[in-house]
Each structure stands twice: as C-alpha cells, then as structure tokens.
Amino acid sequence: MIQVQKPLVIPVFIPHAGCPHQCAFCNQSIITSQKSKLPDKTDIHNIVQQYLQYKGKRESVELAFFGGNFLGLGHDKILQLLDIIQPYIKEKKIDGIRFSTRPDTIARTTLDLIRPYNVSVIELGVQSMNQEVLIKSKRGHTGNDTINAIDILKAYPFKIGVQVMVGLPGDTEASLFESTKKLARLAPDFARIYPLMVLKGSMMERWYCQGRYQPLGLEKSIGLVKKMVGIFRAANVKVIRIGLQASDMMEDESMVLAGPWHPAFGHLVFSEILYDLACSKIEKYKREPKSRKLFLRVHPKSESQLRGNKNSNFKRLGKRYSEIEFSILLDEIIPLYQVEISGQ
C-alpha cells in the first residue's frame, strides 16, 4: 500500500487574536510560547524561510494560522495576512493556507472574501456540541452555530476540520459521546481531539485551586478518547491528531498545573485501540483453533502502537492468552492502525 506523504505545515501563531473573550480553559500565549501579537510581514517571512528548510521530498506545503480566531480578526486584518502569503503561493513555495476559527464566525460574505486566496482547510474550534458544557466552558457559541457553520462550509471547496476537547467542565461520559456522535453525523473531513489541561493564567486555574474543577486522570482520558476515535471512524471522519504537541512548556509544572498530560498521549490511545482490535481478532480465531502460535500482522508504522508503551500490550496479551505464543509480522499491505492475525 502506498502511503501518502503528509504536507509540510508551517505554523504561524496568532494567540488570542480575533477572540471575543478568553474561554475558561484557554491561555494561548502559554501554549504557543508567544505574546498576543499579530505577526507582521517580517515575522511571517522568517517563519516561512525557517520551515522551508525542512521540506525535504514533501510534495506540498501548507501555511497554518493557529492559536486564535482567524475569521474574527476583521476583514482588513484577514486580507492583510492572506496578502502576505500570496507571493509564496505564486512562487509555488506554498500550496495552500489553513486556519482555525470559531463556528460563530463562519459567514458566506467572509468565505466569499477569502475564496480567491488559496485557502485549503478551515478548522472549527467546536470543543463540544453540548450546550450546558459550552456555557460552563465560557465558549460563547452554541451547538447550532457549529451545525450552521458546517452546512455553510460544505457549499465551498474548503476541507472542514473540527477540534474537540475531553474533560470540559460539566461534561459526562454520556454527554461526551452524544456530542461526538452529533458532530460525526455532520461529516467533517477530519477531527483533532485534545484533553483539557489546567493552564496557568486560565479561568480553570482558579476553579481548580478552589476545588470547583477536577481534571481527568490519564487512564480515564485515554479510555474516553479511544471511544471518541471509534465514533469518528465509524462515520468515516479521520482523526488526524490526539493530544497537545510536546514542548518544554508542557513539561513545566508551573505552567501546566494539572490534567492528563503525556508527551505521547496519541500513541497511548492508538495502543489501546490496537490492543482491543488484536483481542477481538484473537477471540474469533480461538473459535476454530489451528495453532498455538499466532502472527500479529501490522504495518511497520503501527508496530510501536501494537507493542504498547514499554511493550505493555504484548505483556497483557501474554497474560490474557497464556496458551498462545505471539509474534509480530510486519506487512506494508496492512492498513495503518489495523491488525490481522494468522497461524504459523
């Protein structure tokens, strides 16, 4: 199977820019390690030149505006930023532009304005489809805003991404999964899933210190996100990222005060998914026993997820199926994040 190479993504952060207020969980200046300043032409040029050195053999390059509410900037600033990128697009150094924005900023007039500027992807900061959770998180938009935004966007050529969170105040397992199902039914092109972390300078910091908010534990978060991934996959919505990007700041306990932080959170989630999948395949195989030795066949890029953190999945399989001897067989024909089994 031929694996499509991911594009080089050049990140340009606009922390809090265009945001009407600060959400309860947010402190973008900490997450991005930048002050709340809109980048100018020189800033963007320096970032682009730095990242273009990493292109290698990648066929495509995208520039992404992250960390703020892009379409909340106002038309003049939106066009100012998009105009800065146009020379790189004309020179074929950058192929497309993507950005994140709030669902309540999506309007046909604005989309018509940006349509000529090679925008390829628009990501919506949905976080939840549950109205009570949105209110408690101080989001300032509704689930209906997300429904309307995706409905409008589907009339345009942009790919649609959604960003959701696990561990939001007031959320429960039932409301989380129902929210995920509602969003999956809207059929965005892809999703990102982030666990809520208590950041210094956020409203959540005060609530956490007052005992009004208790963050999820790591194991609990992994279990919830695993089920969310299953819901999205069942609806053919690709999950392209799980967990926050590892950085020195994320390891700083004076900045990240609490929450299910792990530098390889996504790896842990996919390890659990592959463990469950392997068990289900083994159970089916056991109904017609043919061999005490089984090969677990996976794509080479999925081997580490199948093995689990510090080979934990293999140890669990050995205990659960002590009568079976397991070996891993790498096979590029197997799709990523899938497992097949065969006897010796």
Range 8-263: architecture per CATH:
Alpha-Beta Barrel (3.20)
Distance CA 107, CA 90 (A): 27
pTM to 2 decimals? Answer: 0.91
In three-state form (DSSP H/G/I as H, E/B as E, the rest C), the secondary structure along 199-232 is: ECCCHHHHHHHCCCCCCCCHHHHHHHHHHHHHHH
Tell me how far apart the alpha carbons of residues 108 and 112 are, in angstroms, rounded to a whole number: 6
Residue with tokens 């109904």: 287
Pairing type for strands 293-298 and 340-343 reads antiparallel
- Topology of the domain covering 271-343: Hypothetical Protein Ychn; Chain: A, (3.40.1260)
Give CA–CA dist 72/89, Å, rounded. Answer: 24
Token readout for 215 is: 């963050």
Cite the residue boundaries of each domain of the chain with CATH code 3.20.20.70.
Answer: 8-263
Residues of each domain in the chain carrying CATH 3.40.1260.20: 271-343
Task: Identify whether the C-beta of residue 269 lies closer than 8 Å to the C-beta of residue 316.
Answer: no
What is the residue-wise DSSP string for 116-159?
Answer: GGTEEEEEEEEE-S-HHHHHHTT----HHHHHHHHHHHTTSS-E
Q: Which residues contact 51 (CB under 8 A, 6 or more apart)?
A: 8, 10, 11
What residues have CB less than 8 Å from 40, skipping those under 6 apart? none
Burial state string for 235-244 with b = 16 or more CB within 10 A and e = fewer than 16: bebebeebbb
For residue 334 the two structure tokens come to: 């197997």
Measure the CA dihedral 67/70/73/75, to 10°. Answer: 160
Tens-digit pLDDT profile for the chain (344 aa)?
Answer: 444 568 899 999 998 888 888 898 987 554 444 455 789 999 999 999 999 998 888 889 999 998 889 999 999 999 999 999 999 999 999 999 999 999 999 999 999 999 999 999 999 999 999 999 999 999 999 999 999 999 999 999 999 999 999 999 999 999 999 999 999 999 999 999 999 999 998 999 999 999 999 999 999 999 999 999 999 999 999 999 999 887 777 778 888 999 999 999 999 999 999 999 999 999 888 776 566 888 999 999 999 999 999 999 999 999 999 988 899 999 999 998 899 988 76
